[in-house]
Amino acid sequence: MADFAHYVRREVIEVNYEDASAPWFSRNQPDTQGFESPSYHVTRSTSGPAKRVVTGDVLWLFSQLFTPWGKFPPSLDAKIFVNAVKIDSASSAQRVKSHKIIYEAGVGSKWFPLSDATTVIRQLHTVDQSRTIRALLSYPEQHIGQALQSMREVANPELLVEWEHRLEASPPDFISYRLIDGTRLAYEKALKLVKEGRPVFWDRWSLPRRLAERREFLDDETLDAHLHKVIGQCRMVWGIRSARYGEPGSYSARELNEAQRLRKLKFYPS
């Protein structure tokens, strides 16, 4: 079994949620991507490490969340146990053939909370096809997206397993807010927590993009059950104060009530 690492860009944009004609988020995850855990990963590279991945291997996905107000440190996004590998080919109207590899996720695949993985990233090494081992980053401040623009095989995956265990042992802080008027304050609090070394559940990172970054509808019961489960497992719920936070019928009101019931609620700003 081998371990591989790849980068996926994440981005938050400002949307006018009161305008039904406002465009949806521009970087969508496909609709079939997993809600509780990832369903697959896709790459358009069909050579090098991407081609060496086989059933039983592990993919570690990294990302860095960008927002209109600043960016988060790089974070470990997901772990995928590869259950199957498929090559998908398609021809465009111009008869240009394109290829992509789809890695189906197996049992045990998981999403990770938002966190600062800078330290572990700087310690990672990769191995090329000639089995030469090199540092993942060419220099300490190299952007993770540049280092992992193409998939790379990881030489010391035990560091990632240690990081995974550290995240699992530290319940995340939950950010509860209104998209319509509290997103910037939510970003500020989430960033402060991450810089303090806290893992964070923030929907702009922790929910599938079809929900967090688009106007897709989902039945309330399904999303409520998931959010209540996370709130029950989290260390603290931060209610982000805004004019419309906690309005009757909103998700923020249900999150607020659940956090109060469990006595886990703190407000920001206090």
CATH of the domain at 258: 3.40.50.10140
Does 128 lie in the same domain as 214? no
Q: Are 202 and 145 in contact (CB under 8 A)?
A: no
Domain boundary among 168, 188, 217: 168
Mean pLDDT of 153-174: 98
- In a 13 Å sphere around the CA of 16, the CA atoms on its Cβ side amount to 6
Domain boundary among 133, 168, 203: 168
Residue 21 pLDDT greater than 80, yes or no:
no
The parent domain of residue 28 ranges over 3-168
Least confident range from 15-19, 77-81, 122-126, 141-145: namely 15-19
Does 177 lie in the same domain as 148? no
Does 22 lie in the same domain as 111? yes
Does 159 lie in the same domain as 73? yes
Does 186 lie in the same domain as 157? no
Q: What is the pLDDT of residue 34?
A: 65
Residue 23 pLDDT greater than 70, yes or no:
no
Residue 151 pLDDT greater than 70, yes or no:
yes
Does 8 lie in the same domain as 43? yes
Does 188 lie in the same domain as 163? no
What's the pTM value of the predicted model, to 2 decimals?
A: 0.88
CA distances from 93 to 90, 97, 98, 220, 247 (A): 10, 10, 12, 40, 49
- Cis peptide leading into 68, omega within 30 of 0? no
Higher pLDDT, 90 or 242: 242
Does 92 lie in the same domain as 197? no
Does 143 lie in the same domain as 107? yes
Does 131 lie in the same domain as 44? yes
Does 107 lie in the same domain as 214? no
Which residue type is seen at 32?
Answer: T
Q: What is the pLDDT of residue 12?
A: 80
Residue 191 pLDDT greater than 90, yes or no:
yes
Domain boundary among 142, 168, 194: 168
Does 180 lie in the same domain as 48? no
Number of domains in the chain: 2
